[in-house]
Structure 1
């Protein structure tokens, strides 16, 4: 198992592990992101089986023991399977998530008590500033939430914009068509009335960069990409409702 490293923004590192057996023959990537700030933050922990590879990749940037914050989109093995391994390796690290995730899962699952953030709460990492955003049921889980790094304009979009295959770490080409193709293949999103308005709320941030968990990250007109994806989900929800 090999984890590739790329800097996709100022002090933002992508650790990407390609698994060819998933969605074969194209394969599938699992990406974690490090904000290498004075108080470093890891977004996505990865599955337990990937911990050795991803932590070795982080060691080339900084000691794992320096890690201060651990965050992820929702409670799922590929997002937080290795959470307690990271907590054991980084004695000063603390998990942060929304109040729902902490209440229903993380207060019990995390080996150290997590810190619950309110919707819109900002955490200063010593320069970089992350804003926590509740996104319930978007893309699927009740406790879903994302973070937005304000100084670089980076939205850590989690499972949103998932793509099949192993593209470049960062692209300026549109990723919307590939995200729609992946959604049609996996049908992973919860088609609720909230999904399109939530994406439009994220678009209002006008991010400059999307840090994507599965597939290439994107730099360009992120507002337009989010609005285009919102339109797709709105049409999908309308079609589902019409069939019911």
Structure 2
């Protein structure tokens, strides 16, 4: 079994209401539309918490500038590498590079969303991911789409432009799943939500995230309870048969 984790930055659960691909996948998956992220609900702290299964107060990154850990914790990619698993990351916001340490990845692919446009960068990394994963055996893959967050900051969360960015991300998700098939367990989530043209508060609009999981062991239509973003890394290791780091605070959802 392989795992493909897809994250759409700033994707609120209520943004999925009129997204056909999302509604179809929810029916086929175990899911929650009331998962919780960490505080502060800011992109890089949330990602470091996702990959290291601890709070920002523990890992030390509380803004979008990475802070080296005083008491380092092995993240998801480091734990998987120690278990001889291969990891790949595809992303279009450069700071995502900090979710893993040097030498822990088999492959990484970055398109500068700020330079070529987040929509175009998302489409390009989707095509690259499909090509790479069909050629190279990879146990865990992370794909990051920054378009919704960019649109939220520029136009406002839940605006027409933001919802177009959500739809674009799901068009890419649909392509990935169609091309890669049933060999994978798919996890689709967000790092945080947003309100007006910002996020970072403890408001539900910022803190509540969707978590959708399709794969063996996850019953279609099952509602997952009490889900936190810190539960994702232990869930991935459980699926792959790898022991999680003893300092992780999350729990496996299977």
User: Structure 1-normalised TM-score?
Assistant: 0.33
Name the structure, 1 or 2, with higher relative contact order (CA <8 Å, separation 6+): 2
User: Structure 2-normalised TM-score?
Assistant: 0.32
Higher strand share: 1
